[in-house]
Amino acid sequence: MTLTELQDTLPDYARDLKLNLQTVLAQTELTEQQTWTVAAACALASRNPKLSETILAEAAAKLAPAQFSSAKAAFAIMGMNNIFYRFRHFVAGGEYDQIPARLRMQSIRNHGGDPVDFELACLAVSTINGCEACVKSHAAVVREKGVSAEAVVASVRIASTLHAVAGILEAC
DSSP 30: S
Exactly one of 42, 122, 134, 172 is catalytic; name it: 134
Helices 15-24 and 149-171 pack at an angle, to 10 degrees, of 140
Taking the CB of residue 162, how many other CB atoms lie within 10 A of it?
30
Exactly one of 42, 122, 131, 172 is catalytic; name it: 131
Amino acid at 146: G
Angle at the Cα of 135 (from 82 to 144), degrees rounded to 5? 130
Q: Cα dihedral angle (69, 126, 14, 21), rounded to 10 degrees? A: -40
The CA distance from 171 to 86, in Å, is 27
Which bin fits 122, alpha (ψ -120 to 50), beta or left (φ > 0)? alpha
Is 172 noted as a catalytic residue in this protein?
A: no
Q: So which residues are the catalytic ones?
A: 131, 134
